[in-house]
Structure 1
Amino acid sequence: MNRIVRSALLLKNAPGNIFRTTRFITPTHFRSLTPSSLQRQQQQLSTRMSGFDFSTCDPEQVRLMSEMCILVDENDRAIGAESKKNCHLMTKINEGLLHRAFSVFIFNSEGKLLLQQRADEKITFPGYWTNTCCSHPLAVEDEVEEVNQMGARRAAQRKLDHELGIKAAQIPLEKLEFLTKIHYLAPSDGIWGEHEVDYIFIAQVNVDTDPSPNEVKSLKYVTKVELQEMFRTASETGIQMTPWFRLIAENFLYKWWDNLDSLAACAEPNVIHRM
């Protein structure tokens, strides 16, 4: 069964399962998610997650598994919230859980793309090469705002600092140019996987980096030709590339790369590409 058919079947069967397992959210609920209440929820979730053996995992990565992601339907309408852990368990993905995410691509003034290699401590796709930064808006008031993709922009700014040490002053929200959304499903190792509606942002700006060692193993800038060679020789060299990065590269990235000075002409803000 190919990915598209599988995704379609998951989505077709999703609502009943989602309605049974999802915590539905109202604007009042979002306002109630203060830092202290979110911390309490994370502590409660950490206890609930004790059924999975995290004893060999990095403690910080385990803590992050209790963050609350935004559940969406196939049209990216927010329908609830669930822990990062549950959103990435294949057993839950097979029940239809779909969450909101973002991917950032930062190019420098020379037109080179900043790549990161995910830390070996990461629970999903450890050691894989990927785009500059990819993560999730959280189910908190500042990051659920949908006007002008503001929630996803704030989340991207937060994670660029958390993972790569890129300060917000270097990436103002308006510098993140929104291109489109990608809906994809990708298993990781049989236990973990991804099922996301992914917001794509591009920024061309020179940045200073100070990566967190349990988030990022290494960083490098590449030209378009160098990236194409990485993909072409990956099986021979043993380099692993994240599935969302490969999908975006194969279908969209090189066109965007050729049009960094006129990205608005490439933008499809009202389209969700089903991959």
Structure 2
Amino acid sequence: MTTTREAPEPVTDVELVVLLDEGGSPIGTAPKADVHTDATPFHLAFSCHLLDDEGRMLVTRRALGKRAWPGVWTNACCGHPAPGEHMETAVQRRVRQELGVDITALELALPDFEYRAVDASGIVEHERCPVYIARVDGELRPDPDETVEWQWVEPERLLAGVRATPWAFSPWLVLQAEQLPLLAGAA
């Protein structure tokens, strides 16, 4: 008797992003390395804001080698869930990759956040980007290919800075700052 088995999924190092239709439903995948262009399709991502034990928020400066918004100050971490990956797992994975730290008390703060923005080089971000808040559990050890500088700041000072100089921050941080309950309470 002969039996057949399905071939296992090929193992690949290509990082994929989940593409979305206008309503936010998954419609496919694309390699992350190819998706961010001047015609970036709508896709799934996330943002995470981190707090320390003193209630300060982490802002990071994107590495100068980043394709989009290099050198811009932004929230603690952003990323994309892999196809089929739970969003919370993706957040924890990406924070560990970018900042070298674990997180606790992960909470969804803005489940329906979406934005489209174009950087100075013409690269477009077009994302459904749920926003999370978490606490750090340990000392930061940022990956220099992701983060070149970081600073802990009181929420009210961050909000004041974003309002005074929005051009110095990522567009997603500027938009999130007005919506996040943590920052709205700092006004």
Please give the range of the TM-score, normalised by the shorter of the 2 chains.
0.7 to 0.9
Counterparts of 1:70-89 in structure 2, within 5 Å, are 70-89=18-37
Task: Return the offset for 1:203.
Answer: 1.4
What TM-score, normalized to structure 1?
Answer: 0.59
Read off the aligned partner of 2:112 and give its amino acid letter: K
Q: Which of the numbers 185, 197, 202 marks the counterpart of 2:133? A: 202
Match of 1:99 in 2: 43
Contact between 1:87 and 1:98, CA under 8 Å: does it hold in 2? Answer: no
Give distance in 1, aligned partners of 2:88 and 2:78: 12
Task: Return the offset for 1:73.
Answer: 1.8
Contiguous gaps of at least 5 residues in structure 1? 1-27, 43-66, 144-150, 260-275
Task: Return the offset for 1:190.
Answer: 4.2
Q: Which of the numbers 73, 83, 108 marks the counterpart of 1:178? A: 108
Match of 1:128 in 2: 72
Change (3 A) 1:199 1:114: same
Deviations 1:184-238 (A, max 9, x none): 1001134311000001111134531101111101111111232133224437xxx
Q: Which of the numbers 243, 248, 252 marks the counterpart of 2:171? A: 243
Match of 2:3 in 1: none
Tell me the matched-pair count.
179
Task: Return the offset for 1:166.
Answer: 0.7
Q: Which of the numbers 65, 71, 96 marks the counterpart of 1:161? A: 96
Greater relative CO (CA pairs within 8 A, separation 6+): 2
Task: Return the offset for 1:258.
Answer: 6.5
Read off the aligned partner of 1:156 and give its amino acid letter: V
| Aligned CA-pair RMSD | 2.4
